[in-house]
Amino acid sequence: MSAKGIRVTGAIAVFFMLTLSAMTMEAKTKVTEASFGKMPDGTPVDIYTLNDGKIEARITTYGARIVSIDAPDRNGKKADIVLGFDSLEGYLGNEPYFGAIVGRYGNRIAKGKFTLDGKTYSLPINDGPNTLHGGRKGFDKVVWKGKQIPNGVELTYLSKDGEQGFPGNLTSTVRYTLVGDDLKIEYSATTDKDTVLNLTNHSYFNLAGQGSGDILQHVMQINASHFTPVDATLIPTGEIAPVEGTPFDFRTPHVIGERINADNQQIHRAHGYDDNWVLDHPAGKLSVAAIAYEPNSGRTLEVLTTQPGVQFYTGNFLDGTLKGIDGKVYNRRGAFCLETQHYPDSPNHPSFPTTELKPGQQYHQVTIFRFGTRAK
């Protein structure tokens, strides 16, 4: 065989080896399913474990929620970095949306009312004078239908017309897939009547490990030049305010605890950070919204999203009364949330990006939690 023939044959062999390697990498995540208990009415609840050899995430059909995420530190030691409970019973009590998909409308709607197509809709009031995260029985408190898909799990829920006051039969699908360092959340939905929709994941992160003290020494960066100030009931005033010169400027990395007790009206109202940042990236483009870093472990969390906003919340209302996985106590500011979203109360603010969904339209948003480490 000529040298040229040998080179061609070798190139073909390399091509097939690379193709096989890529296929192996794409489908290497092991997905298993198990029982997670039963609801009081007997409805079974399942839990899916996604394990790619480095990261392990557990997802339950109750609330389509993340129960745990095991991730390595800079030395390879793994820890669970989200707050959660060992069993279904913990989630059935009065808990603050740990790991859940919240909807139909994540975040707040003022006074539980909005007008659509000339009709005013009334929702349950469950947060002071407002509606929070879809009402008293939002998507976090229902059992979704789950099935295994390559590298993950697909969860589907039909919210019927009038549920919690929202119009339209809405079919929502959430896909969690784990590939490499990325836990991807893909949201899609359709409706048979004009409605509003704002889905997000409400995981509480502590990159030192759940129950490992507060997150005040974590370093945070948020790629946003503006935020939406709120009134005394945490409803946006409608203003899009610059972060420059305020404790809300995280365009460069800052330690979370550095300004969390600043003499600032917005800080006082939320007892820390609990605000919506207006992301700088173009609408609908998957881009980095925020990066968190925990210096002792070296763990990092990068959040990418197609959404226009992110709610940064610092666990201000955790009070030590909840005990989570392995009996860990969840104290005040023991975790942070980065809830990718449309803005709070958008149905009552025409100047905000719309959250309306009409028949024939396809709601589609993507968020990625990317895990990594840094050297000291």
Find the radius of gyration of the CA atoms of the chain.
22
- CA pair distance 232, 236, nearest whole angstrom: 10
* H or E segment to which residue 20 belongs: helix 3-26
153, part of any domain: no
| Whether the Cβ atoms of residue 281 and residue 290 lie closer than 8 Å to each other | no
Catalytic residue IDs: 202, 339
145, part of any domain: no
CB neighbour list of residue 45: distance below 8 Å, 6 or more residues apart: 35, 36, 37, 38, 39, 60, 61, 62, 88, 143
64, part of any domain: no
7, part of any domain: no
Domain of 85 in residue numbering reads as 79-136+177-373
Q: How many domains does the chain have?
A: 1
Closest CA to 288 of 310, 269, 271: 310
Give the DSSP letter string of 249-266.
--SS-EEGGGSTT-S-HH
309, part of any domain: yes
Residues 201, 194, 368: CA angle, nearest 5 degrees: 20
325, part of any domain: yes
What integer is the mean pLDDT of 58-79?
98
Residue type, 67: V
Its pTM stands at 0.92
- CA pair distance 339, 107, nearest whole angstrom: 9
Closest CA to 363 of 231, 243, 195, 233: 195
* Confidence band of 176 (pLDDT split at 50, 70, 90): very high
Per-residue model confidence as pLDDT tens digits over 330-369: 999 999 999 999 999 999 999 999 999 999 999 999 999 9
pLDDT at 27: 56
At 225, which CATH number? 2.70.98.10
367, part of any domain: yes
240, part of any domain: yes
Closest CA to 36 of 51, 46, 25: 46
Per-residue model confidence as pLDDT tens digits over 257-303: 999 999 999 999 999 999 999 999 988 999 999 999 999 999 999 99
